[in-house]
Amino acid sequence: MDARSVALLREILGSTGWVERTRELGLALRATRSPGGLLVVGTPEDEPWHLTAHLGDEARLAGLPQLDPTLVRWRPDPGAPAHLRVGLERIERARRGETLFVVTEEQAPEALLERVSDARRTGATILALDGGDPDLEGLAHDALAIPGQAPITFDGAQHLVSMAAGEGGRRTGLRDRLARLLERVSGPQVAD
């Protein structure tokens, strides 16, 4: 789904309250304090690759390194690139200032709920985008449930949340784009 499609979806859902709800969750993701501290996890059957990629794009476009996600996988391939080898043990190291974002349309398995509970106890912020899982939502600091009868699909909600996460930090004007280009070429400007 491209930016125009997301804008159209926002327009269609404008009077339903869903845009505001996805925006709130997207903005909550920005509370993460450090690059790599936004941990995104799904279930063993459905890892949120697509959402993780969109959040990475939004982090880059908005200049928000703390929004750059870490995909946490259930069974990472040891031969995969480093960013695809992050396993569940990373959740065990989650701390205050980090965010665990659980994305699952299905009921969260007990093994995931236990890890989420442990991460919450160690101070991590817990956010969830789910299909209506009361156990998961009970552990989350903030959750958005997308029930089957909602006027938005689970995939559509993921796009709205990821775009909302990058809003406000995104520089889009010509001067801003030139400033980013100059900074890349010459390095950041240091004040005297």
Read off the pTM: 0.82
Overall number of domains in the chain: 1
pLDDT at 1: 57
Say if residue 192's pLDDT is above 50: no
Domain membership of residue 192 (yes or no) is: no
Tokens of 124: 């991590």
Give the DSSP H or E segment for 33.
none
Per-residue pLDDT tens over the stretch 99-144: 999 999 999 999 999 999 999 999 999 999 999 999 999 999 999 9
Residue 115 CB neighbours (<10 A): 22
pLDDT higher for 185 or 78? Answer: 78
Does any domain span residue 191? no
Tell me the CATH number at 20.
3.40.50
Cα(89)–Cα(72) distance, rounded to whole angstroms?
A: 9
**135 domain-assigned:** yes
| In a domain? residue 158 | yes
**Residue 5 carries which side chain, given as an amino acid letter?**
S
Beta-sheet strands, E only, within 42-159: 69-72, 99-104, 125-130, 142-145
Residue with tokens 């569940």: 88
Per-residue pLDDT at 177 exceeds 60? no
112, part of any domain:
yes
Taking a C-beta distance cutoff of 8 angstroms, is the pair 116, 139 a contact?
A: yes
Residue 153 has pLDDT above 60, yes or no: yes
pLDDT in tens, 37-56: 999 999 999 999 999 999 99
Residue 142: give the domain boundaries. Answer: 3-186
